[in-house]
Structure 1
Amino acid sequence: MSSTLINAAADQLAVIDALYRFAAGIDLRDQDLLASSLAENAVSDFRPAAAKAGFDYPVIEGRAMIVAALTASLATLDTSHSVSNPRVAIDGDTARLDALVEAQHVPRSDPARHYMMKNRYDVELQRAGDVWLITRNTVDNIWRAGDPAVLSVV
């Protein structure tokens, strides 16, 4: 196998790893891991998915703001995010990633309730040394099941 193919495969895995770090950071409530997936000036847009769940969620700009907002909005929930079907397109030091993410949300205070969403993530990334960082993430919803009020549990 040529070194060009090996480098391309390594880049594709590194791009996908950024989304894995994002999801695992949320699920593990690990703010450092979540932050490690994001560029300093990243933009997070959950509006399309939130609208389908019946609520407003603003566009969030900046690594620190995204980490703080996701940490606060999911503080009372146990979550599990499963990433599948990643498709990567790399152009120099930028990349696009399209993936499906299934997100389960369960209130810690009432584990009998849940809200599950199958979302499409449209992710833009930038190379930063040996890692890739998310510069923009737009999340749209494909289907959902359960009680959407779970997302507003305080």
Structure 2
Amino acid sequence: MYVTEHHALSGAPRELEDRTEITDTLLRFALGQDLRDEDLFASCFTEDAELDFRPAAARWGAAPPLMKGRDAIVTTILSGFSGRVDTTHQVTNPRIAVTGDTARLTALVEAQHLLTADHDTHALLKNRYDVELVRDGGRWLMSRIRIENVWYTGDPAAIFTDSNRPGGVT
């Protein structure tokens, strides 16, 4: 499930370029959310991408749907945050395994969510990302993202709207 190979680089220049571009894909994912930049955020997904936040959300009893398709992912996440939540994401510990035109990425992402109208209502999450990517010409795109929560603190109401919380309660 996670990338655990004992080497970081085999020495090939193409591999170094791939690893840089793969890491950049996850950085576009994070910054696209933080800036509410639809084009930047969409630029990291395949058209048929899947984003599974259910394992992370289950930690505090939420049940969001599996998000399928680039447009649905972008719309769901950005519309859920726009005007409601301020976010910052930090990406660390990327581990990458490239096999031809596919790759796996494991990373830790810390996500801070604060209600725009009340920064006292906030949630801080440390999540493990398991990402499958495909090469698309000279760039890499995420085809599948699975997010598991390691720990969180604060109020999950700073993440989800009423419709994604159990019983519709924030």
- Same fold judged by TM-score > 0.5? yes
Match of 1:95 among 90, 103, 125: 103
Matches within 5 A, 1:1-154: 5-75=12-82, 76-152=84-160
Q: How many residues align?
A: 151
Aligned CA-pair RMSD = 1.2
Amino acid of the structure 1 residue aligned with 2:75: A
Amino acid of the structure 1 residue aligned with 2:115: P
Please, which runs of 5 or more residues in structure 2 have no aligned partner? 1-10, 163-170
Amino acid of the structure 2 residue aligned with 1:18: T
Query: Separation in 1 of the partners of 2:161 and 2:131?
Result: 28
Superposed CA deviations along residues 72-126 of structure 1, whole A, max 9, x for unmatched, are 2222100001000000000000000000000000011001221000000000000
8 Å contact kept, 1:107–1:153: no
Please, which runs of 5 or more residues in structure 1 have no aligned partner? none
When the two structures are superposed, what TM-score results if normalisation uses the length of structure 2? Answer: 0.86
When the two structures are superposed, what TM-score results if normalisation uses the length of structure 1? Answer: 0.94
